[in-house]
Homo-oligomer: A and B are copies of this chain.
Amino acid sequence: MASASLNRSLEYISKNKDRFLQDFRTLLKQPSVSAQKIGIEDCARIVKKQMEMAGVKTKILPVKNGNPVVYGEAKSKSSSKTLLIYGHYDVQPPEPLEKWVSGPFDAKMQGRKIVSRGAADSKNNVTSFIKATESFLKATGDVPLNLKFIVEGEEEIGSPHLPGFVEENAERLKADSVVCYDGDFDETGRAKISLGVKGLLYVELRCKKAREDLHSSYAPLAENPAWRLVWAMSTIKGPDDKILVKGWYDDVERFSPAQSRLLEKVPFRGQNLLKEWGLKSFLKAKSNREALRRYMTEPTCTICGFKAGYIGEGSRDHRRR
């Protein structure tokens, strides 16, 4: 793109900074918790409105049994190439609420930061690509590439309906390249573009035995689902951190020499991460470099949550179903 266009766009951004920030906070104030089915439709409408205000041709595409996708297009006069930009408007559940310094959907300013669920992932990214598009369109009358946008509402629950949506809308989504606008900064403070991210398989084990809570004294008579779950989990990963599921490591591709050389070049300040996490050393890694290698190359398996029995204050010697 011509640097003149870019400069005019940057100027537009400077002039409209306050309004952009206001729009960002409007989006943040709208709860959109996919796991709890809260505020989804309203949030999709806010995204649509902000995209339209930016000059993007927008429609909300319903998704069968799922949360709607906000779709948009901005045609370029100067390029025949098309970039598809992916983002999501849903957020993680805000619990535990008592740990927030202000309401998770209050979007309060704390100095130069905004404290809000979704401020970092990924209403910030959604806002920045909408505002970048607006800045190009309004300041130069054009965008440097044909742009297509999908902003989905199920990323935080694993995008269960996205594959079906993509298949159904294959023609509409055709593009020369795709960007997932979900970036972050690494522990050295450097903005990241990730190539080749890990997939995620989320599995929930449930075990139910007796129909009612039983007193702990009945332990010899009735199976306790909590034990079943503990034993099941302990067959999945052992204390040496090796995953015990048969065939787990079979299809892991080893890094090529070229990839290993690239890995050596990744700046990685492990100490910064450890400090942030309040830990003294990385798990099963003798050096930062080894930790990075494990992080980049090893498949993992972990417990995201575990619940059984009474977990409130004090003791209660009833096992629960």
B316 touches A92 (CB 8 A): yes
Q: Which of A75-83, A145-153, A213-221, A258-266 contacts B (4 or more CB under 8 A)?
A: A213-221
Give the distance in Å from the alpha carbon of A307 to the alpha carbon of B306 in the complex: 5
B230 touches A230 (CB 8 A): yes
CB distance from A312 to the nearest CB of B (A): 6
B93 touches A312 (CB 8 A): yes
Give the distance in Å from the alpha carbon of A9 to the alpha carbon of B2 in the complex: 106
Chain B residues within an 8 Å CB radius of A220: 283-284, 291, 294-295, 298, 300
Q: Which of A20-28, A57-65, A271-279 contacts B (4 or more CB under 8 A)?
A: A271-279
Once A220-B298, A318-B92 are accepted as A-B contacts, the answer to whether A308 and B306 lie under 8 Å apart by CB is yes
**Contact for A302 among B198, B204, B219, B312, CB less than 8 A:** B219
How many protomers of this protein does the assembly include?
2
Within A87-135, which residues are at the interface with B (CB < 8 Å)?
Answer: 92-93, 95
Chain B residues within an 8 Å CB radius of A180: none
Q: Which of A47-55, A136-144, A234-242, A245-253 contacts B (4 or more CB under 8 A)?
A: A234-242
Q: Does A179 contact B (CB under 8 A)?
A: no
Q: Does A178 contact B (CB under 8 A)?
A: no
Chain B residues within an 8 Å CB radius of A202: 315, 317
Count contacts on A: residues with CB < 8 A to the other chain.
71
Give the distance in Å from the alpha carbon of A288 to the alpha carbon of B214 in the complex: 18
Chain B proximity mask over A287-321: 1 for CB below 8 Å, otherwise 0? 00001001100101111111111111111111110
B315 touches A277 (CB 8 A): no
Q: Does A56 contact B (CB under 8 A)?
A: no
A211 touches B278 (CB 8 A): yes
Chain B residues within an 8 Å CB radius of A233: 227, 230, 234
A198, A212, A284, A314 pick with most chain B CB within 10 angstroms = A314
**Contact for A93 among B158, B217, B238, B310, CB less than 8 A:** B310
Chain B residues within an 8 Å CB radius of A95: 310, 312
Once A36-B312, A211-B277, A312-B35 are accepted as A-B contacts, the answer to whether A302 and B221 lie under 8 Å apart by CB is no
Q: Does A86 contact B (CB under 8 A)?
A: no
Q: Does A222 contact B (CB under 8 A)?
A: yes
B277 touches A214 (CB 8 A): yes
CB distance from A155 to the nearest CB of B (A): 11
Q: Does A182 contact B (CB under 8 A)?
A: no
Q: Does A226 contact B (CB under 8 A)?
A: yes
**Contact for A313 among B35, B229, B318, CB less than 8 A:** B35
Q: Does A157 contact B (CB under 8 A)?
A: yes
